[in-house]
């Protein structure tokens, strides 16, 4: 049975390779950073099983590793590494043409295929895919198959894929971890009762009996929390626990499916406006070598604000029908 743990091992192997290559180039902070993350991915299942069994020691080691990562991140320099000359890359692009898009398009296509067909696939009575985390398993499998397809399309040696992946990883630096860390932060906020605190504060500031006021507070909260934390996944559990469920769904009868879907999209408006979403807004500026590191944010700020207003109108129209 294929589960997400198998792909964690694949990811751990890639991160260990990135650490080894940096060690060869005497980039010691980078080497240590990726090696520690590789160890966390490889040993994550051990930590989880030990925690369920009541043994806190592995979790404490994992927490210590996170603190080490924070210290190492201060020593890392985000800088582009050498790549093939522009003339060589242009000649390759002209030779391959639209076939270059095949590996990228395979990722969403295969992910959707696994999500839809995975529960019905068996081998000798055993499911091919673990029933939990089917979407993540599909995405991980799609990425592996897409990498193989890219090797076949470009006719490059397999190690070239690892080298190019490592080059992009080192170019992004510690910012590559932001989606994972910020999504985890949202879970921590929700578990620590931040949502309940938000609900009490909102009830003190706005009239809770006015559904439009609650809706505006929910939308603005999604955007502001996303701007602060850089990730709508981190903002969503907090705002749903604080405003969405108790005020909009339970008190005013909003449709939870519509509220959740459009509410998450509203949070993405904040993603367009914040440097905290470094993997979306700062890293592309570095990769494209833009003169203005905030140029991406400036270009999409108007879109984010217009989209936020549109989402509020859609939620007001659809959620309470």
User: What local confidence, expressed as pLDDT, does residue 177 receive?
Assistant: 82
300 and 182, same structural domain?
yes
User: What local confidence, expressed as pLDDT, does residue 158 receive?
Assistant: 87
- Nearest Cα neighbor of 34 from 53, 51, 52, 12 is 12
129 and 206, same structural domain?
no
167 and 209, same structural domain?
no
What average pLDDT does this structure show over 18-27?
Answer: 91
274 and 144, same structural domain?
no
DSSP 8-state assignment for residue 277:
S
- Of residues 279 and 216, the one with the higher pLDDT is 216
Question: Residue 19 pLDDT > 90, yes or no?
Answer: yes
Residue 219: pLDDT band (50, 70, 90) is very high
CA distances from 112 to 132, 219, 238 (A): 15, 29, 28
229 and 108, same structural domain?
no
Question: Residue 164 pLDDT > 80, yes or no?
Answer: yes
Rounded CA-CA distance 232/222 in Å is: 7
What pLDDT, in 10s, does the model give residues 137-152? 888 999 999 999 999 8
User: What local confidence, expressed as pLDDT, does residue 260 receive?
Assistant: 92
Question: Residue 316 pLDDT > 60, yes or no?
Answer: yes
Rounded CA-CA distance 121/173 in Å is: 39
Rounded CA-CA distance 301/303 in Å is: 5
- Nearest Cα neighbor of 218 from 234, 238, 189, 200 is 238
User: What local confidence, expressed as pLDDT, does residue 99 receive?
Assistant: 84
- Of residues 52 and 296, the one with the higher pLDDT is 296
Residue 228: pLDDT band (50, 70, 90) is confident
107 and 13, same structural domain?
yes
User: What local confidence, expressed as pLDDT, does residue 81 receive?
Assistant: 64
145's tokens: 């198959």
User: What local confidence, expressed as pLDDT, does residue 47 receive?
Assistant: 63
Cα 126 to the center of its chain, rounded Å? 31
Rounded CA-CA distance 243/200 in Å is: 9
206 and 183, same structural domain?
yes
Question: Residue 185 pLDDT > 90, yes or no?
Answer: no
Rounded CA-CA distance 22/16 in Å is: 10
215 and 168, same structural domain?
no
Question: Residue 51 pLDDT > 70, yes or no?
Answer: no
Of 156, 172, 188, which closes a domain? 172
- Crossing angle, helix 211-229 and helix 194-205, to 10 degrees? 130
Of 172, 192, 207, which closes a domain? 172
Q: What angle do CA 56, 62, 64 make, to 5 degrees?
A: 100
CA distances from 170 to 15, 194, 225 (A): 11, 35, 28
Share of the chain above pLDDT 70, in %: 91
Share of the chain above pLDDT 90, in %: 29
254 and 120, same structural domain?
no
What average pLDDT does the structure give for the chain? 84
168 and 34, same structural domain?
yes
What pLDDT, in 10s, does the model give residues 258-294? 999 999 999 999 999 988 877 788 777 776 777 888 8
- Nearest Cα neighbor of 282 from 180, 174, 185, 186 is 174
Rounded CA-CA distance 54/107 in Å is: 39
What average pLDDT does this structure show over 158-186?
Answer: 81
CA distances from 153 to 18, 93, 106 (A): 24, 11, 13
165 and 190, same structural domain?
no
What average pLDDT does this structure show over 186-206?
Answer: 72
Q: Strand 122-123 to strand 126-127: parallel, antiparallel, or no bridges (unpaired)?
A: antiparallel
- Nearest Cα neighbor of 144 from 114, 168, 169 is 114
Per the structure, the count of domains in the chain is 2
Q: Is 220 in contact with 242 (CB distance < 8 Å)?
A: no
Range of the domain at 307: 178-318
Rounded CA-CA distance 298/292 in Å is: 9
Of 149, 172, 195, which closes a domain? 172
The overall pTM is greater than 0.85? no
Phi, psi of 156 (to 5 degrees): -100, 155
314 and 237, same structural domain?
yes
């Amino acid at each position: 049975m294929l589960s997400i743990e198998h792909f964690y091992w694949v990811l751990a192997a890639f991160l260990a390779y990135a650490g080894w290559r940096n060690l060869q180039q005497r980039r010691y902070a980078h080497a240590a950073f990726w090696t520690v993350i590789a160890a966390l991915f490889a040993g994550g299942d051990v930590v989880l099983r030990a925690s369920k069994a009541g043994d806190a020691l592995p979790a404490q080691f994992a927490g210590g590793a996170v603190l080490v990562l924070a210290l190492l991140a201060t020593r890392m320099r985000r800088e582009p590494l050498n790549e093939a000359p522009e003339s060589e890359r242009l000649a390759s692009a002209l030779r391959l043409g639209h076939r270059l898009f095949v590996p990228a398009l395979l990722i969403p296509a295969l992910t959707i295929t696994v999500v839809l067909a995975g529960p019905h696939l068996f081998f000798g009575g055993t499911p091919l895919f673990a029933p939990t985390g089917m979407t993540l398993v599909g995405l991980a499998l799609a990425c592996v198959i897409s990498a193989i397809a890219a090797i076949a399309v470009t006719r490059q040696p397999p190690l070239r894929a690892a080298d190019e992946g490592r080059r992009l990883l080192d170019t992004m630096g510690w910012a590559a971890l932001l989606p994972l860390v910020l999504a985890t932060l949202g879970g921590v906020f929700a578990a620590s009762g931040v949502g309940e605190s938000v609900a009490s504060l909102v009830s003190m500031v706005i009239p809770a009996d006015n559904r439009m006021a609650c809706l505006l507070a929910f939308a603005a909260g999604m955007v502001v929390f996303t701007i602060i934390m850089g990730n709508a996944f981190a903002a969503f559990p907090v705002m749903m626990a604080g405003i969405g469920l108790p005020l909009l769904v339970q008190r005013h009868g909003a449709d939870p499916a519509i509220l959740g879907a459009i509410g998450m999209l509203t949070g993405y408006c904040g993603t367009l406006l914040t440097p905290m979403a470094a993997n979306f807004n700062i890293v592309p500026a570095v990769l494209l070598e833009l003169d203005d590191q905030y140029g991406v944010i400036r270009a999409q700020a108007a879109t984010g604000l217009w989209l936020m207003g549109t989402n509020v109108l859609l939620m007001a129209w659809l959620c309470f029908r």
